[in-house]
């Protein structure tokens, strides 16, 4: 099984981490110099890993947060006049281009080798379209769910994503969270929902049964796409992330090209591909592209759990920044949600230590 392989590789990685721990313990009574040197190298490697993980997580948080701010800004500036499908296609194209530029620099420096060559086997590439396909299905469902829920209600139901990501992460990647970490994850979902509460939120409780089912199915699709992406990227740990990204985004381009043909063919033919694009549109495309790359990096160097925490913090950051930028008011519910999310983040790390 594909998943098994991933799991075994994870175990190898985990074993590596454990070894570092063991060698720390051993280094006290052991006077063997080579063992000490190894420990030092291992601990240095751990530090580099931790630093890389922090940088990509921080980048994702800042980019996601500014993404939401750009959306508010563009809405304030007026309605979307450009076609969303062409913008999505441009985002995928830009991500592809950035990955290729990064690869070019690596080839110049290190030369082309097994890990960074662009050519690939069918066995490697065959799984890459799956996340893009899942997102497509989810986006199609999104049009139908609005028959049952309004937009603010949908924002609240989207917090099911947090729970579904946790559950699928456990089932598919077979990685364990401690009980405290599970409690933290439930709190993260409750805290994010609390932070988004407003006077109309209770309407979501009147959502008909079909609406609940669709919300849960969409959360599962979105969670599965995220976890599956992590599985693909982590399956080949030594493979260069830019090559992996390139293939992911190529299929993203294909699916979005189909979406343009199906949804906006006439509009694009009559008004042109870039009709209605403004400075903000271009900014948003760049921001989406960089966020997308940051997500891939988080999948490679951290995991889906980190991604969920990062985007949740971004949601809170967006609200705080909006107070200064747009004069938004923060509610008591937002404050309480922030407290709960903060405690969840603390518990996620405290739960790890005590395992």
Cβ at position 189, least distance to its own copies in Å: 8
Query: Judged by CB under 8 A, which stretch of 98-106, 108-116, 138-146, 191-199 contacts its own copies?
Result: 191-199
Cβ at position 152, least distance to its own copies in Å: 11
CB closer to its own copies out of 289 and 344: 344
State both tokens at 143: 């049009």
Q: Please tell me whether residue 332 binds its own copies under the rule CB under 8 A.
A: yes
Q: Tokens 């999310």, residue?
A: 341
CB closer to its own copies out of 195 and 253: 195
Segment 102 to 161, residues that bind its own copies, using CB under 8 A = 156
Q: 201, 216, 251, 274: which one contacts its own copies (CB under 8 A)?
A: 201
CB closer to its own copies out of 269 and 332: 332
Q: How far apart are CA 47 and CA 53, in angstroms?
A: 10
Length, in residues, of the chain? 355
Q: Please tell me whether residue 190 binds its own copies under the rule CB under 8 A.
A: yes
Cβ at position 270, least distance to its own copies in Å: 44
CB closer to its own copies out of 189 and 221: 189
> Residue 285, Cβ neighbours under 10 Å: how many?
21
> Residue 118, Cβ neighbours under 10 Å: how many?
14
Q: Please tell me whether residue 177 binds its own copies under the rule CB under 8 A.
A: no
Can you tell me whether residue 342 is helix, strand or coil? helix
Q: 60, 103, 132, 197: which one contacts its own copies (CB under 8 A)?
A: 197
Q: 15, 112, 171, 339: which one contacts its own copies (CB under 8 A)?
A: 339
Query: Judged by CB under 8 A, which stretch of 59-67, 129-137, 182-190, 232-240 contacts its own copies?
Result: 182-190
Helix axes 209-235, 129-145, angle to 10 degrees: 160
H/E stretch holding 193: helix 179-195
Evaluated on CA atoms 25, 28, 31, 36, the torsion sign reads: positive
Q: Which residues have CB under 8 Å from 209's CB, separation 6+?
A: none
CB closer to its own copies out of 71 and 183: 183
Q: How far apart are CA 145 and CA 5, in angstroms?
A: 36
Can you tell me whether residue 114 is helix, strand or coil? coil
Query: Judged by CB under 8 A, which stretch of 106-114, 120-128, 178-186, 320-328 contacts its own copies?
Result: 178-186
Q: Please tell me whether residue 336 binds its own copies under the rule CB under 8 A.
A: yes
Evaluated on CA atoms 177, 180, 184, 185, the torsion sign reads: positive
Cβ at position 183, least distance to its own copies in Å: 5
Q: How far apart are CA 114 and CA 220, in angstroms?
A: 35
CB closer to its own copies out of 94 and 347: 347
CB closer to its own copies out of 95 and 348: 348
Tally of CA atoms within 13 A in the half-sphere of 115 that contains its CB: 11
Q: How far apart are CA 47 and CA 263, in angstroms?
A: 48
Please tell me what DSSP assigns to residue 204. G
Q: How far apart are CA 256 and CA 144, in angstroms?
A: 19
**Radius of gyration, alpha carbons of the chain:** 22
Q: 199, 269, 270, 324: which one contacts its own copies (CB under 8 A)?
A: 199
Q: Count the residues of the shown chain that bind its own copies, applying the rule CB under 8 A.
A: 29
CB closer to its own copies out of 292 and 337: 337
Q: Please tell me whether residue 202 binds its own copies under the rule CB under 8 A.
A: yes
Q: Please tell me whether residue 259 binds its own copies under the rule CB under 8 A.
A: no
State both tokens at 343: 């405690």
Q: Please tell me whether residue 317 binds its own copies under the rule CB under 8 A.
A: no
- Tell me which residues touch its own copies (CB under 8 A): 156, 179-180, 183, 186-187, 190-191, 193-194, 197, 199, 201-202, 204-205, 329, 331-333, 336-337, 339-340, 343, 346-347, 350, 354
């Amino acid at each position: 099984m594909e998943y098994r392989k991933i799991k075994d590789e994870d175990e190898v990685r985990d074993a590596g981490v454990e070894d570092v721990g063991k060698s720390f313990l051993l280094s006290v009574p052991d006077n063997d110099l080579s063992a000490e040197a190894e420990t030092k190298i291992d601990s240095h490697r751990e530090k580099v890993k931790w630093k890389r993980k922090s940088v990509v997580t921080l980048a994702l948080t800042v980019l996601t947060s500014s993404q939401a701010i750009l959306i508010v800004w563009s809405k304030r500036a007026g309605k979307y006049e450009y076609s969303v499908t062409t913008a999505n296609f441009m985002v995928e194209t830009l991500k592809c281009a950035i990955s290729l530029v990064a690869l070019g620099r690596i080839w110049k420096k290190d030369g082309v080798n097994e890990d960074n060559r662009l050519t690939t086997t069918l066995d490697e590439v065959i799984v890459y379209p799956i996340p893009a396909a899942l997102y497509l299905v989810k986006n199609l469902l999104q049009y139908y769910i609005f028959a049952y829920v309004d937009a603010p209600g949908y924002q609240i139901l989207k917090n099911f994503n947090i729970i579904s990501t946790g559950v699928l992460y456990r089932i598919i990647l077979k990685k364990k969270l401690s009980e405290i970490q599970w409690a933290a994850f439930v709190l993260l979902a409750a805290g994010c929902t609390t932070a988004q509460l407003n006077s109309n939120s209770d309407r979501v409780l009147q959502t008909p049964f079909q609406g609940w089912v669709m919300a849960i199915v969409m959360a599962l699709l979105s969670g599965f796409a995220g976890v599956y992406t992590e599985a693909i990227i982590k399956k080949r740990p030594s493979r260069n992330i830019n090559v992996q990204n390139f293939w992911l985004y190529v299929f993203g381009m294909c699916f979005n090209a189909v979406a343009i043909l199906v949804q906006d063919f006439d509009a694009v033919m009559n008004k042109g591909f870039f009709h209605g694009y403004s400075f903000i549109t271009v900014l948003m495309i760049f921001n989406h592209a960089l966020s997308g790359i940051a997500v891939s990096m988080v999948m490679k160097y951290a995991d889906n759990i980190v991604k969920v925490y990062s985007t949740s913090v971004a949601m809170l950051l967006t609200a705080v920044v909006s107070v200064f930028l747009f004069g938004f008011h923060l509610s008591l519910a937002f404050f309480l949600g922030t407290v709960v999310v903060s405690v969840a983040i603390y518990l996620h790390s405290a739960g790890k230590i005590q395992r």
